Structure 1
């Protein structure tokens, strides 16, 4: 990885030009954006939704879960962002990528077709940490995102 530490910046809107090594966090839009940590220069967007990524901030460090897999980029880089640090993760096979994309599609379909607003533990992303709550409630931001996408 060319960038092994990211500087978190909490912003309202994502800038047109991304600075390498900066993790842009827009809570208003529920989105985290950064220039790919491998150094290829491509933009990586990680939406913060009940079926996508989760962000934690402890006052100093930002972490994203699950890992960031740039499967649609030429570099196909894969890494974890934990406490502002970037940890390179192993490459995934084409079959594993396809399985994850399929799981993600099923999770979104199931979540957004429900009349209630919870995710059961079985809907958690693969490799989810054991400490994660078994139930996630929709927030105003997610409701707005849901209306925008659907």
Structure 2
């Protein structure tokens, strides 16, 4: 790992250009972002929710869990951020990466089901996406609007 420590900065919106060694944290948007700690320059965005990553603040330090696996980058880096320290984790082969991605997908599906159930949207009551759905109500529209707001300079 090129980067051994990371400095947390709490922001409302991410800057247009990330600085190496800085973990930008938007509590409002439950998202954190940083440049890959291997030094490749890849932008890493972590969604802060029980199905993805948890952020723990301790004094002036932060920890993200579980580990960060940049499987979609050429570097395939894998590390932990613990109390502002970057700790390299072992490399994963393709089989392990696939298993982690499958588990992550399952975790997210479970999280969405729990959130929908709390909102009173049982599977039979939950909105069913259709081609006729207006863009204002589609999930993709909400994601794009969220990202535009987050990345706005």
- When normalised by structure 1's length, the TM-score is 0.76
Q: Which residue of 1 aligns with 2:127?
A: none
> In the comparison of the two structures, how many residue pairs are matched?
121
Instruction: Give the C-alpha shift of residue 106 in structure 1.
Output: 1.2
Residues in 2 aligned to 1:10 and 1:111: alpha-carbon distance in whole angstroms: 25
- When normalised by structure 2's length, the TM-score is 0.75
Instruction: Give the C-alpha shift of residue 101 in structure 1.
Output: 0.7
Q: Which residue of 1 aligns with 2:98?
A: 98
Gaps of 5+ in 1: 118-144
Instruction: Give the C-alpha shift of residue 77 in structure 1.
Output: 0.3
Q: Which residue of 2 aligns with 1:49?
A: 49
User: Which sits farther off after the overlay, 104-113 or 12-21?
Assistant: 104-113
Residues in 2 aligned to 1:47 and 1:95: alpha-carbon distance in whole angstroms: 24
Q: Does 1:85 align with 2:85?
A: yes
SS at match of 1:95: helix
Q: Which residue of 1 aligns with 2:18?
A: 18
Instruction: Give the C-alpha shift of residue 59 in structure 1.
Output: 2.2
Segments ≥4 residues shifted beyond 2 Å:
none
Residues in 2 aligned to 1:111 and 1:3: alpha-carbon distance in whole angstroms: 32
Q: Larger C-alpha radius of gyration, 1 or 2?
A: 2
Gaps of 5+ in 2: 120-138, 144-153
Instruction: Give the C-alpha shift of residue 111 in structure 1.
Output: 2.2
Bigger RCO of structures 1 and 2 (CA < 8 A, at least 6 apart):
2
* CA root-mean-square deviation: 1.8
Residues in 2 aligned to 1:43 and 1:68: alpha-carbon distance in whole angstroms: 12
Instruction: Give the C-alpha shift of residue 112 in structure 1.
Output: 1.0
Instruction: Give the C-alpha shift of residue 110 in structure 1.
Output: 2.1
Instruction: Give the C-alpha shift of residue 81 in structure 1.
Output: 0.3
Q: Which residue of 2 aligns with 1:39?
A: 39
The CA deviation string for residues 56-96 of structure 1, in whole angstroms up to 9 with x for no partner, is: 11121110000000000110100000000000000011111
Q: Which has the higher helix share?
A: 2
